[in-house]
Amino acid sequence: DYIGTPDANSTVGNLLNWASSNNNNDNNNNGNSPAWIPEGNDLETMNELISKLNDPLFQDFESFTDDDYKNIFTDRQILYDDVVKNSQVSEPKVDNLVYKDDDLAGQAKATILSLVRNEDQKEIISAIRQMEDHFNKNFNYPYTFLNDDEFTEEFKEAIKEVVPTDRILQFGRIESEIWDRPSSIDDEKYQQCIEKLDQEEVQYVKKESYHNMCRFYSKNFYKHPLLQDYKYTWRLEPGINFYCDINYDVFQFMELNNKIYGFVLNLYDSPESIRSLWTTTMEFINSNPEYLNSNGAFEWLKDNGQKPNNFNITGGYSTCHFWTNFEITNLEFLRSEPYEKFMDFLDEKGGFYYERWGDAPVRSIALALFADKRRIHWFRDIGYNHAPYTNCPKCPPDSNRCNGNCKPGHFTPWKELNIENCQPVWIKYIMNEEERNLY
């Protein structure tokens, strides 16, 4: 009987309280307990939210000409240049940043997390070196390495060699019952589906391990025994680059500013890989509307102005998603009822295998629906690259924070890939004035 105002003491009320935030700027340093308790969603609000999720961002799209689409894209490129290429960025202007040697430095319940194979050794070591050099040498956060196979001694030794001797390292195995394709997936159907998607050139679709990885990162990683005592993870992938020093404790930034999720890049996805993800999501929402956050990032999910085909193929999803190869996550969000119920629902539908649902769109949809958008933070100060995309901040002229190996505002070396950038949508429709002026 969730249709009605939930009692603040009911499960639903608590969930809503949990998922909302206090973002009043005069009082934003209360890490754990929101200072104001929102009203629960009443029937009218829920219907409004659902109808927002059914509507495209541009409702007059049927009259759009090619020029209209071109203009939308051009305006967005200008906005991106304005914010990323031309505005100087140093670090968030909040008064609670924690620096090296401060009492709280390195004290968050947090770990750097890498899912890797033994053969990723060289590339993960490069990533760790940069992580240490630009951030962790000052904060000493532990690393957790997970693998569906046993890590070799050689791998473990090689990692130990690149970090200071006092750095805590955990190496864990993922059980095959957790990692492998579940028996509920029909083998014949799976083979047929991936054959078809392969013809549509969906990347990685024939690699079963990739499907396993996406499912693991969506619904299982945060349940791993080695992560039980942690509240935050910072995901680190092989082969990435960092370009700028991060002089404050980013985990404490999350904690003290009440953030659920931190990202640096956000993109459009390959719609063929998630053909039924949105319609499946709406099925879930229609039976669980009480999980919707009335301050969700809905416009970002519903953009149909830049890649309208993506929106059409998926039946109503922009395909905008946080690029999860970098993500700083408050695991309490993943461990919450809305997220877990949603994961169970998606898993039952089989789309991690019959399609190639990525953990990125899955996580992103959950965040945009269930979390308060003010609790999702774009780390625009972090210079980061995972081929073929880069977030490169422009520093003040007297700053040597960045090493000069990226070009400010240069999203990708391939010009035709600029259209894949969804960050302008985030900037225009989701961020408020205060957030734009945070740096």
List residues with catalytic annotation.
327
Stretch 84-103 residues interacting with ligand GDP (CB under 6 A): none
| Residue keyed to tokens 């391939």 | 414
The neighbouring-strand residues paired with 235 are 113
Q: Min. distance of Cβ 385 from ligand GDP in angstroms?
A: 12
Cis peptide bond upstream of 271, omega within 30: no
Question: What are the structure tokens assigned to 129, written together?
Answer: 């070196």
How far apart are the C-alpha atoms of 298 and 292, rounded to whole Å? Answer: 10
**145 within 8 A of 159, measured Cβ to Cβ:** yes
Give the residue, chosen from 53, 116, 244, 395, that forms a contact with ligand GDP under the rule CB under 6 A: 116
Q: Which stretch binds ligand GDP (CB under 6 A): 16-24, 58-66, 206-214, 252-260?
A: 206-214
Strands 143-147 and 110-115: parallel
CA dihedral sign, ordered 340, 297, 24, 108: positive
Q: Residues 366 to 395: which contact ligand GDP by CB under 6 A?
A: none
Q: Minimum distance between the CB of residue 237 and Mn ion, rounded to whole angstroms? A: 4
Q: Does position 120 bind ligand GDP by CB under 6 A?
A: yes
Which residues contact Mn ion by CB under 5 A?
237, 325
Q: Is 180 in the site for ligand GDP (CB under 6 A)?
A: no
Q: Could you say which of ligand GDP, Mn ion, none residue 439 binds, taking C-beta under 5 to 8 angstroms by partner kind? A: none
At closest approach, how far in Å is the CB of 412 from ligand GDP?
15
Report, in Å, the least distance between residue 385 CB and Mn ion. 11
The candidate with the shortest Cα–Cα distance to 173, out of 198, 201, 151, 206, is: 151
309/317 Cα distance (integer angstroms): 10
Question: Which of residues 98 and 382 has its CB atom nearest to ligand GDP in the complex?
Answer: 382
Helix (H) or strand (E) run with residue 302 in it: none
Q: Terminal CA-to-CA distance of the chain, rounded, Å? A: 44
Query: Which position among 45, 170, 209, 418 is part of the footprint of ligand GDP (CB under 6 A)?
Result: 209
With CB under 5 to 8 Å by kind, the binding choice for 120 among ligand GDP, Mn ion, none is: ligand GDP
Length of the chain in residues, anyone? Answer: 439
* CA 2 to each of CA 37, 284, 288, 290, 363: distance values in angstroms, whole numbers, following the listed order: 17, 15, 9, 6, 24
123 binds, among Mn ion, ligand GDP, none (CB under 5 to 8 A by kind): none
Q: Which position among 40, 92, 238, 361 is part of the footprint of ligand GDP (CB under 6 A)?
A: 238
Interatomic CA distance for residues 185 and 350, integer angstroms: 6
Q: Which stretch binds ligand GDP (CB under 6 A): 110-118, 128-136, 245-253, 292-300?
A: 110-118
Q: Does 130 bind ligand GDP (CB under 6 A)?
A: no
Residue 67 burial class via C-beta count within 10 angstroms: exposed 0-12, middle 13-18, buried 19 and up: exposed
Strand partners, 232: 110, 330
Number of H helices, E strands in the chain: 18, 12
Is the Cβ of residue 225 or residue 388 nearer to Mn ion in the bound state? 388
Total number of residues that touch ligand GDP (CB under 6 A): 12
Q: Which is nearer to ligand GDP, 138 or 319 (CB)?
A: 319
Should residue 147 be labelled a site residue for ligand GDP when binding is judged by CB under 6 A?
yes
Chosen residue from 81, 148, 337, 340 binding ligand GDP by CB under 6 A: 148
Note whether 117 binds ligand GDP by CB under 6 A: yes
CA distance 358 to 241: 22
Task: Establish if 341 lies at the interface with ligand GDP (CB under 6 A).
Answer: no
Query: In what helix (H) or strand (E) does residue 266 lie, and over which residues does it extend?
Result: strand 266-267
Rank residues 237 and 340 by Cβ distance to Mn ion and give the closer one. 237
> According to the binding rule CB under 6 A, does residue 233 interact with ligand GDP?
no
Nearest approach, Cβ of residue 238 and Mn ion (Å)? 7
User: β-strand 384-386 against 389-391: which pairing, if any?
Assistant: antiparallel
Q: Which of 84, 115, 194, 328 binds ligand GDP (CB under 6 A)?
A: 115
User: Closest-CB residue for ligand GDP?
Assistant: 209
Interface positions, 252-311, toward ligand GDP (CB under 6 A): none
List alpha helices for 165-219, DSSP H.
176-179, 187-199, 208-219
Give residues in contact with ligand GDP (CB under 6 A).
115-117, 120, 147-148, 209-210, 213, 237-238, 325
